Amino acid sequence: MIELSHASLSELTCPEGLACACGRRHAMPMDYLRVGAGAVRNIPDALQAMGCSRPFIVCDVNTKAAAWDLVRPVLEDTGISYTLYCFRQQRLEPDEYATGSLILAWDSNCDCVIGIGSGVINDCCKVLRHCAGVKQMIIGTAPSMDGYASNTAAMIHDHMKMSVDTDYPDAIICDIDIMKNAPLRMLQAGLGDMIAKYSAICEWRISHLVTGEYYCENIAAMIRAAVQKVSENAAGLSRRDPQAVQAVTEGLIVAGIGMSFAGVPRPAAGQEHFFSHMWDMFDLNRGLPCDLHGIHVGVGTLLTLRMYDILRHTTPSREKAKAFIASFDDTQWQCMIRRIYGPAADEVIEKEHVQYHKNDPVTHKHRLDIILAHWQDILRIMDEELPSLQELEALMQHTGMPMTPGELGFNHRDVQDALVGSRDNRNKYLLSSLFWDLGLLYTTELD
Ligand SMILES: [Zn+2]
Ligand SMILES: [Zn+2]
């Protein structure tokens, strides 16, 4: 039995996988994974490990400027022939236009895809490799989000955000000489997506307690160790200190591995991510471009810590919770969902009525009984997992990253709508679900 928190990246991605105390075998076999200064020199080794020889290389104007001068000599010196496709847009969206362009440009003489970029390029390449049925490598250009090693692609289809199931890349190369020169906002976004793991792990444990969903302490410990390393090095991030950039990059990859191991996003995403999902939807509905995922998530993490602070000062009351559920009105709830979700409301309402039944008084009573019986355990989990709001604010302030919804263009109403609408986004037990069960959600004000 191996402790995942002590395993190296290559041990975590070994072909045979790792037996775990949770009863599962965690496996994420990868052909090649290298993080470090000068790592792009290993592209030929990575291609060999993948069993591929002629890559279709995808980049955009920004990622080409960031990495091509280092990548091209490696390919040409070793005689690797390739086809290059460069998106011309300054701001590329991961939508049907981008993926359609790649499919039209695809060169069938190639036997693999190499993406040069971060979230958007990687996600578009995941979709392309899926369609073309070939292997994929990603050469990272910014430590901005935890999707490098994940097996989903965050796409936009018909102006709606959606998550597409794909494979994770067969090879990942993150050259710190490239990553450290990423735009500062992308470095800040990577930190935002990592500090989210504090509240994600806390919520995973609480949900395990309340709903009995699967939880693996070994995966949680692996994520905690990665966040710890990022926090210790965070001060160096705005100076582009290579050690800080390496810690964030490795942390983001470990988070992606954690999600694959668990088979759900729980180890890496909780309530703080749902502020981001809701704000992305508001921006799309308003025809505005979405901000970087990790920037939203960083602000969402501070709001989530404030929610936990509210809980610390709350004495849960069965009477209050019972009065809330007795007065709950489905028609009023539908009106609220229509106002908050706009064009997506029909689907949300139908899913609740046909599939989820979160609002059912019987399931509510069951959860409430557990919450009240285990209130001290919930408080203990919070104490064990969460840093103080002040600690986290100090960490973020150091990098100069946005810390309030106002800095992202969201007003008080947007924060409240994201808060009350978050539990209806999916069938997932969030911190806002706990607030709802206690009869607190619709009366909580966050700023
Ligand atoms: Zn496990
Ligand atoms: Zn994330």
Structural domain contains residue 252: no
Same domain, 280 and 170: no
Position 322 in a domain: yes
Domain of residue 323 covers 273-443
Distance 278 CA to ligand 2 centre (A): 13
Whether residues 300 and 158 share a domain: the answer is no
Comparing C-alpha atoms, which of 100, 84, 90 is closest to residue 61?
A: 90
Q: Yes or no: say if 283 and 290 are a contact pair by the CB < 8 Å rule.
A: yes
Is the domain of 173 the same as that of 316? no
- Spatial distance between the Cα atoms of 383 and 392, rounded to a whole number of angstroms: 15
Residue 159 domain-assigned (yes or no): yes
- 3-state SS, residue 154: strand
What is the 216 CA–ligand 1 centroid distance (Å)? 5
CA 220 to ligand 1 centroid distance, Å: 9
Q: What is the pLDDT along the chain (447 residues), one digit of tens a residue?
A: 689 999 999 999 999 999 999 999 999 999 999 999 999 999 999 999 999 999 999 999 999 999 999 999 999 999 999 999 999 988 899 999 999 999 999 999 999 999 999 999 999 999 999 999 999 999 999 999 999 998 889 998 887 778 898 999 999 999 999 999 999 999 999 999 999 999 999 999 999 999 999 999 999 999 999 999 999 999 999 999 999 999 999 999 999 999 999 999 999 999 999 999 999 999 988 989 889 999 999 999 999 999 999 999 999 999 999 999 999 999 999 999 999 999 899 999 999 999 999 999 999 999 999 999 999 999 999 999 999 999 999 999 989 999 999 999 999 999 999 999 999 988 999 999 999 999 999 999 997
Confidence at residue 1, expressed as pLDDT on a 0 to 100 scale = 66
406 and 278 part of one domain: yes
Report which bound ligand comes closest to the CA of 220. Answer: 1
List of E strands, 32-123: 32-36, 55-60, 83-87, 112-117
CA 293 to ligand 2 centroid distance, Å: 7
Out of 181, 207, 225, a domain closes at: 181
For residues 171 and 282, state if they share a domain: no
Residue 229, domain member (yes or no): no
Q: How many Å apart are CA 287 and CA 342, to the nearest integer?
A: 13
Nearest to 255 by CA among 200, 174, 179: 200
DSSP, res 5: G
We report the CATH number of the domain holding residue 54 as: 3.40.50.1970
Q: Would you say 43 and 184 are in contact if contact means Cβ atoms under 8 Å apart? A: no
Nearest ligand (C-alpha, residue 1): 1
The alpha carbons of the chain give a radius of gyration, in whole angstroms, of 22
Whether residue 343 lies inside any domain: the answer is yes
Nearest to 268 by CA among 152, 160, 392, 410: 152
Q: Count the alpha carbons within 13 Å of 205 in the hemisphere toward its beta carbon.
A: 22
Q: Is the same domain home to 173 and 309? A: no
In a domain, 19, yes or no: no
Q: What pLDDT shows up at residue 163? A: 86
Angle at 288 between CA 283 and CA 291, to 5 degrees: 70
Nearest to 192 by CA among 303, 107, 285, 286: 303
Number of domains the chain is built from: 2
Query: Do 281 and 159 share a structural domain?
Result: no
Of 74, 417, 400, 35, nearest to 246 by C-alpha is 35
Q: Cα of 383 to ligand 1 centre, how many Å?
A: 23
pLDDT of residue 315: 95
DSSP letters along 335-373, please?
Answer: HHHHHHHGGGHHHHHHHIIIII-TT-HHHHHHHHHHHHH
Structure tokens at 227: 């966040």
**Of 129, 149, 181, which residue sits at a domain end?**
181
- Residue 222 in domain: no
The closest ligand to the CA of 263 turns out to be: 1
Say yes or no: 427 and 290 in one domain: yes
- Residue 114: the pLDDT is 98
In angstroms, the CA 439 to CA 352 distance is 19
Q: Looking at the structure, tell me whether residues 138 and 282 fall in a common domain.
A: no
User: Distance from the CA of 122 to the center of ligand 1, in angstroms?
Assistant: 27
Cα-to-centroid distance, 21 and ligand 1 (Å) = 6
Same domain (yes/no): 300, 172: no
Beta bridge partners of 33: 172
Please tell me the distance between residue 218's alpha carbon and the centre of ligand 1 in angstroms: 5
Q: Which residues are within 5 Å of ligand 1 (an ion), measured at CB? A: 20, 22, 216, 218
Name the pairing type of β-strands 18-19 and 25-26: antiparallel
The domain boundary, picked from 151, 181, 211, lies at: 181
Note the ligand closest to the C-alpha atom of 294. Answer: 2
Q: How far is the CA of 206 from the centre of ligand 1 (A)?
A: 17
Ligand 1 centroid to Cα of residue 213, in Å, is: 13
156 within some domain: yes
**Residues 175 and 294 reside in one and the same domain:** no
Looking at the structure, do residues 297 and 437 belong to the same domain, yes or no? Answer: yes
Quick check: 111 and 125 in contact, CB under 8 A? no
Q: For residues 343 and 338, what is the distance between their CA atoms, to the nearest angstrom? A: 8
Structure tokens belonging to residue 66? 């960031």
Distance 277 CA to ligand 2 centre (A): 10
